[in-house]
């Protein structure tokens, strides 16, 4: 129980970091192409983790946790990294093409519905009634919280919906591999894979269409570096590492509900940083989201005759 509480707190803090990251991503999209922003973001994140891994390994004198297969770490991390790369690029491109931060937060959070559905279809794992109630409440709350205009889909919106599907697969992949490997090492491989793939795509997608000089000039703005640094160090290196640590031993649907709080924190960040006020509609949505998280973590009552 103590471990579940600790992991839940880690994922809640992760949601806070990611919620504020929507501001950084919106700012970054004004300076960088999606592949450039994502590539540098995750390569820096992997570099940030490397010293901590080396120091800890030196203290451990090469000892490996029981059951951990070092050779299998790379294939597992690459799978997570490919999914993270595709999801992150689609999300960043959707924001760059005009999807608002609040709308992107809601559409991305659709993964809280997709996770239990995919878990059922792929792994045949059933989901408790309380979690389904939490999913429904969370969707209603996120809708009230983030969607204020007429709900119409544009290409940018569809990109973010596709990103939600890929994030659902990434959550399930982390749920599958996180108990098997060291969290920092799995995160580092995931980040490096995502950063390397995005950097390769940066050449045909960002540099060639815009020209090298125009591309290079995007790094001259201090605001660009601030948004990139936040996304790389806090949102990526710390946030995704906490995701891997927090998902260990935690129901993946509950984990996705906790991480969906990023939409709530995105609105609160806009209120604090951009001086935007919460409407009555948004406040009701926030209450529903918190209620969903609490209900989803309630213990499931045992049926008669169960052991």
- Three-state SS sequence of the chain: CHHHHHHHHHHHHHHHHHHHHHHHHHHHHCCCCHHHHHHHHHHHHHHHHHHHHHHHHHHHCCCCCCCCCHHHHHHHHHHHHHHHHHHHHHHHHHHHCCCCHHHHHHHHCCHHHHHHHHHHHHHCCCCCHHHHHHHHHHHHHHHHHHCCCCCCCCHHHHHHHHHHHHHHHHHHHHHHHCCCCCHHHHHHHHHHHHHHHHHHHHHHHHHHHHCHHHHHHHHHCHHHHHHHHHHHHHHHHHHHHHHHHHHCCCCHHHHHHHHCCHHHHHHHHHHHHCCCCCCHHHHHHHHHHHHHHHHHCCCCCCCCCCC
Residue 306 within a domain: no
In whole angstroms, what is the distance from residue 199 CA to residue 252 CA?
30
Residue 304 within a domain: no
- The half-sphere exposure of 90 on its side-chain side, counting CA atoms within 13 A, is 20
Q: Are 109 and 142 in contact (CB under 8 A)?
A: yes
pTM above 0.85, yes or no: no
Give the pLDDT score at 199: 95
Q: Structural domain tally of the chain?
A: 1
129 Cα distance to chain centroid: 25
Residue 284 within a domain: yes
In whole angstroms, what is the distance from residue 193 CA to residue 76 CA?
11
Q: Are 33 and 255 in contact (CB under 8 A)?
A: no
Give the pLDDT score at 289: 82
In whole angstroms, what is the distance from residue 116 CA to residue 268 CA?
27
Task: Kindly give the interhelix angle for 2-29 and 252-259, rounded to the nearest 10 degrees.
Answer: 40
Structural domain containing residue 144: 2-61+68-296
**Residue 21 dihedral angles phi and psi, to the nearest 5°:** -65, -25
Residue 305 within a domain: no
Residue 302 within a domain: no
Listed in sequence order, the residues at least 6 apart from 281 whose beta carbon sits closer than 8 Å to its beta carbon are: 144, 148
Residue of 302, 303, 282 lying closest to 106 (CA atoms): 282
Give the pLDDT score at 78: 95
Q: Are 236 and 45 in contact (CB under 8 A)?
A: yes
Residues in the chain where the model's pLDDT stays below 50: 66-67, 303-307
Residue 164 within a domain: yes
Residue 110 within a domain: yes
Residue 301 within a domain: no
């Amino acid at each position: 129980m103590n471990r579940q509480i600790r992991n839940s707190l880690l994922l809640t803090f992760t949601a806070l970091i990611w919620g504020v990251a929507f501001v950084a991503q919106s700012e970054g999209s004004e300076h960088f192409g999606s592949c450039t922003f994502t590539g540098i973001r995750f390569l820096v994140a992997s570099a940030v983790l490397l010293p901590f891994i080396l120091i800890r390994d030196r203290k451990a004198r090469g000892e490996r946790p029981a059951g951990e297969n070092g050779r299998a770490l790379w294939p597992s991390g690459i799978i997570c990294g490919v999914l993270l790369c595709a999801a992150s690029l689609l999300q960043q491109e959707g924001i760059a093409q005009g999807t608002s931060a609040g709308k992107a937060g809601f559409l991305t959070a659709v993964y809280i519905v997709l996770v239990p559905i995919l878990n059922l279809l792929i792994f045949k794992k059933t989901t408790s009634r309380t979690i389904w109630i939490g999913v429904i409440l969370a969707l209603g709350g996120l809708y009230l919280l983030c969607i204020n205009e007429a709900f119409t889909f544009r290409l940018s919106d569809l990109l973010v919906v596709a990103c939600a599907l890929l994030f659902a697969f990434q959550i399930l992949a982390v749920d599958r591999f996180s108990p098997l490997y060291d969290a920092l090492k799995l995160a580092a491989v995931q980040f490096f894979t995502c950063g390397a793939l995005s950097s390769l795509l940066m050449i045909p997608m960002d540099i060639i269409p815009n020209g090298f000089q125009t591309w290079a000039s995007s790094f001259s703005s201090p605001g660009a570096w601030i948004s990139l640094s936040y996304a790389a160090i806090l949102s990526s290196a710390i946030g995704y590492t906490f995701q891997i640590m927090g998902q260990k031993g935690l129901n993946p649907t509950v984990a996705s509900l906790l991480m969906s709080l990023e939409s709530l924190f995105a609105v609160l960040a806009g209120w604090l940083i951009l001086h935007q006020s919460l409407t009555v509609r948004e406040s009701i949505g926030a209450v529903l989201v918190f209620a969903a998280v609490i209900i989803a973590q309630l213990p499931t009552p045992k049926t008669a005759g169960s052991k």
